[in-house]
Chain A
Amino acid sequence: MSAVSTRPAARVGIGGPVGSGKTALVERLIPALMRRGVDLAVITNDLVTAEDAERVRRSGLIDPARVAAVEAGACPHTVIREDPTLNIEAAAALERQFPGVELILLESGGDNLASTFSRDLTDFWMFVIDVAGGDDIPRKRGPGVIRSDLLVVNKVDLAPYVGVDLPRMLAEARAVRGGRPVLTTNCRTGEGVDAIVQQLEREVLFRQ
């Protein structure tokens, strides 16, 4: 890759409700992206701790120095939408420390279906929901579900155990999103993660 193709580092947001699998997705994306030679850093957002950042740092998947923590101190959406200064500063600091970085993943703290990312902060953002959260989530038309660049439906393996009609849930998700992409994952096994990587390679890394 030439220098011009990596500047500025792509900033990709990952939002979604508590427990939907955002950190698990980050832990799957890191090795999948690194296998493709993507120079990577991560920012995690938590309420009043660095819990998720510590989890990623201890994972052994990435140099711990490449994982920054932002503590929102309030509702998580405030620091990814209303005033994303803390996250913008964290991303800029990672770019200064690691000049070749091509992609910065920004994981939001777990929030509700209304959370969205500011375009000032991210070039592309995905919203993660899971089948165990209920197959009515797409029908509720939350801004996160509708406006995200990519909707990820995680834990698809649990559908039969929680009484979810997965094909119907996905059809409803696609209907409310007006044709924008919806992908499925099982982050416990890694199923579906390559399709997300391909989406990022095309939309913001410009490798395809």
Chain B
Amino acid sequence: MLRLHGIVGRADDAELHQRLHALEHAGALERVTMEEADLGRRRIRLTSDKGTDCAISVDRAEDLSEGAVLLLEPGRAIVLRVGVAKAWRLRARDAGAALQLGWHAGNLHWRVRFDGDMLLVLLDGPLAEYRARLAALLDAGLVEDGGDG
């Protein structure tokens, strides 16, 4: 177990980016991937793409996020990747339908994002289970189903 505490930098920082690039060429850059649904955790156990068992923590004031550099040594670095949540894209036919759609999303405690006039539902499970909850609105044509592609 490799114990890692705190974030030492960001992969998109210009200076760090070059060092990480060099380490990657030398085969000394490892990546650990955290599921999007785990965002917010300050302690997590993850295995890197090179098989290193990493026990990761940050202080409560810090966030584990995409590109966080967790280890930076002359001959080795570990960078955090965050998986991207699948999103179900929905567009309401009119204001009345939008009110109903918004009510359902809130009542079901779905995690959502907005993209123009689209409502994006972040999926924590199979799309079919989400579709079943809105079957009446979809069947009535009140909400357009943009899929999760």
Interface, chain A (partner B; CB < 8 A): 4-5, 7-8, 10-11, 81-82, 92, 114, 116, 118-120, 122-124, 141, 143, 146-147, 202-204, 206, 208
Contacts and interface: CB of A to CB of B under 8 A. Distances in A.
Given A202-B45, A206-B43, 16 more contacts: A4-B5, A5-B5, A7-B5, A82-B109, A119-B37, A119-B41, A123-B42, A141-B129, A143-B124, A203-B45, A204-B43, A206-B1, A206-B3, A206-B55, A206-B57, A208-B1
B1 A8 contact: no
Contact of A119 (B3, B40, B57): B40
Interface string B128-148: 010000000000000000000
Given A146-B125, A147-B124, A206-B1, A124 B109 contact: no
A97 to B, nearest CB: 15
B109 A8 contact: no
Interface residues of B, number: 21
Nearest to A176: B125
Contact of B57 (A7, A92, A120, A147): A7
Nearest to B43: A123
Nearest to B55: A206
B40 A124 contact: no
Contact of B109 (A81, A119, A206): A81
Contacts of B40: 118-120
Contacts of B41: 119, 122-124
A116 B40 CA distance: 14
A206 B45 contact: yes
A8 B45 contact: no
Interface of B: 1, 3, 5, 37-45, 55, 57-60, 109, 124-125, 129
Contacts of B124: 143, 147
A204 B44 CA distance: 6
30 contacts: A4-B5, A5-B5, A7-B5, A7-B59, A8-B42, A8-B43, A8-B57, A8-B58, A8-B60, A11-B42, A81-B109, A114-B109, A116-B109, A119-B37, A119-B38, A119-B39, A119-B40, A119-B41, A120-B40, A122-B41, A123-B41, A123-B44, A124-B41, A147-B124, A203-B45, A206-B3, A206-B43, A206-B55, A206-B57, A208-B1
A10 B43 contact: yes
Contacts of A10: 43
A154 B109 CA distance: 27
- List the 3 closest A-B pairs by CB distance, nearest first: A119-B40, A206-B55, A123-B43
Nearest to B5: A4
Given A81-B109, A123-B41, A8 B125 contact: no
A81 B129 CA distance: 21
Nearest to B45: A203
Contacts of B38: 119
Contacts of A114: 109
Count chain B CB atoms within 10 A of each CB in A120, A204, A206 and give the residue with the most: A206
